[in-house]
Amino acid sequence: MLVEPHGMNLRSEILKGSFVLTLGQLVSFLSSFLRNILLARLLTKADFGIASTFAIIISVFELVGKMAVGTLIIQAKDGDHPDFQATAHLVQFVAGVLGALLILIFAGPISTLFKVPEARWGFMWLAAIPLFKGLEHLDVNRMVRDMNFVPSVLIEAVPQVIVTIVAWHAALWLKDYRAMLLLLLLGRLLSLVVSHTLAIRPYKWAWHDGYARLIARFGGPLLINGFLMFCIFQGDRLVVGAGYSIEDLAAYSVAASLSLVPGLMVVQVVQGIALPLLSRTLNNPDEFRRRYDLCAQSLSLFSTLFATTMIIAGETLVRIYGKKYEGTGIILAWLACSQAFRIIRAAPTLAALSRGDSKNLMDSNFVRLFGVILAAIAANRGLPLHWVAAAGFVGELLAFVFATFRLSKLHQLDKAAILRPAAVTVIFMLVAGILAFAGVPNDGWAVVLSFSLLLSLGAICVFLRLFVDLRKLVMAEAILLTKHPQLKAHV
């Protein structure tokens, strides 16, 4: 049984941290899911399309999250130092102010691009969101260094739950896209309040040249990567908003939310667990490789379960949002495949980040832009909307391959560690696609759930059969839970 130098059982840390992060992400995911359903049903398709543009604006100009200062506090050797934290607070605030100014400057042109000039005032109000983000307390990130994930989970989950409760009343009261604007502002304000409420250290600003240079070196590539991530996550929606109708943007956004949120949830959980665990083993190459292999196999297995379920049940799922979104299932299928490979790509990017290499993510996202270019070509030629989603899958697949080969070249990690489980994911995607487009009925929950469950069980069996480390981990945890009923009750 693995034990860390300070004596704490590593398995217990992983179990506890995974449980807390998964629970928090699940609460946030369900809250977001329910909120989107409420708004999609209560608002017109055009109003929901306008509301979708708000997410695009925030993704472009929210500089604080792109710099990932909180991640550096977790990863850096001096991240626990008070001066480091105070310098990070100041840098974060400056980034928030810059983001707010950019939103105010570009609100007009962007509203014209989306052909909704009447919503310009709403775009300008979005400037408050990066300001709120820039003032958040980073002490909860420092706590993650010690595998204490509860405060960071509460910052995300509590605002999500409150905003979801308010969503129904906001939609009935305002009856248009203003409801989404109100909810976005309220959610970020609540995150700001919760971050200061849970902090242990006082909130301070300071300037330390050495720490500031470190933040710049680490955050610079991630800032560039943040704009690339906008092109990846919102670039296709930008193409749809500019090249198709606002109603088409609403349909695409519904499919995107169904595919994007579960993937983000998993990546957040894995990043929270894997980054500190990988960082701890930098001086132990064999253990680092073992943990990396497990990360790659686990992410590939989840991606397989996720993608096959979305391919089979996609059309049934989108009908939850209302009959006006029928026919969006094929878009969801392509977006789910794209998201699956983004999840798998988290393994090589996290391995690189744990070694202070933030360029792997940035460079691979440059490759991912090829998908956005293909999407723009599809829109320019007037192709059906699902071709835009398919273009994103091509770009994500190429980005994954690039990230894997770059990691192997610079950090001497075996390419097969991630390519083999990813190949299994592709095979199951093809099987699900054949079933979905060969006539599997999609008008009843019983049928789609049955097919999804069969494919999922098959995928689990294949992964456990092919990958010894994953099988040993699953068996070890099963034995642990069996022998320790009190731990089982806790988990």
Which tokens in the block code for residue 82?
Answer: 């008070």
Residue 4 confidence (pLDDT): 44
Q: Of 62-66, 305-309, 452-456, 471-475, which gets the smallest average pLDDT?
A: 62-66
- Pick 229 or 188 by higher pLDDT: 188
- Residue owning tokens 């130098």: 5
pLDDT band at 427 (very low <50, low <70, confident <90, very high): very high
What residue type is assigned to position 364 of the chain?
S
Q: How far apart are the first and last CA of the chain?
A: 19
Neighbours of 420 (CB within 10 A): 16
Q: How far is CA 377 from CA 20, 253, 399, in A?
A: 43, 20, 19
For 308-361, write each residue's pLDDT tens digit: 999 988 888 888 888 888 888 889 999 999 999 989 998 898 888 887 777 787
Closest residue by Cα to residue 395 from 228, 220, 266, 219: 228
Spell out the alpha helix ranges (H) of 114-149.
Answer: 120-125, 128-134, 139-144
Q: Average pLDDT for residues 458-484, to the nearest whole number?
A: 76
Distances (CA, A) of 112 to 53, 55, 288: 12, 16, 50
At 282-292, the pLDDT tens digits run 777 888 888 88
Are the CB atoms for 185 and 53 separated by under 8 Å?
Answer: no
pLDDT-based confidence at residue 6 (cuts at 50, 70, 90): very low
Taking a C-beta distance cutoff of 8 angstroms, is the pair 46, 246 a contact?
A: yes
Q: Distance between CA atoms of 156 and 29, rounded to whole angstroms?
A: 10
- How far apart are alpha carbons 291 and 271 in whole angstroms? 13
* Residue given tokens 């998964």 in the structure block: 22
Q: Find the range with the poorest average confidence among 20-34, 109-123, 131-145.
A: 20-34
Q: Does residue 106 or residue 442 have the better pLDDT?
A: 106
User: How much is the pLDDT for 391?
Assistant: 93
pLDDT greater than 70 at residue 485: no
Question: How many whole angstroms separate alpha carbon 262 and alpha carbon 313?
Answer: 15
Mean pLDDT of the chain: 81
Dist CA 96 CA 67 (whole Å)? 11
Which alpha helices (DSSP H) does 68-208 contain, by range?
69-75, 82-113, 120-125, 128-134, 139-144, 150-174, 178-198
Q: What is the dihedral of CA 290, 295, 298, 299, to 10 degrees?
A: -150
Q: Round to whole Å and give the CA distance between 123 and 289.
A: 46
Q: Which residue has the higher pLDDT, 115 or 133?
A: 133
**How do residues 136-191 score in pLDDT, each as one tens digit?**
888 887 777 666 777 777 888 888 899 999 988 888 888 888 888 899 999 999 98
The answer to whether 36 and 273 have CB atoms below 8 angstroms apart is no
What is the average per-residue pLDDT within 27-35?
A: 81
pLDDT value at residue 481: 52
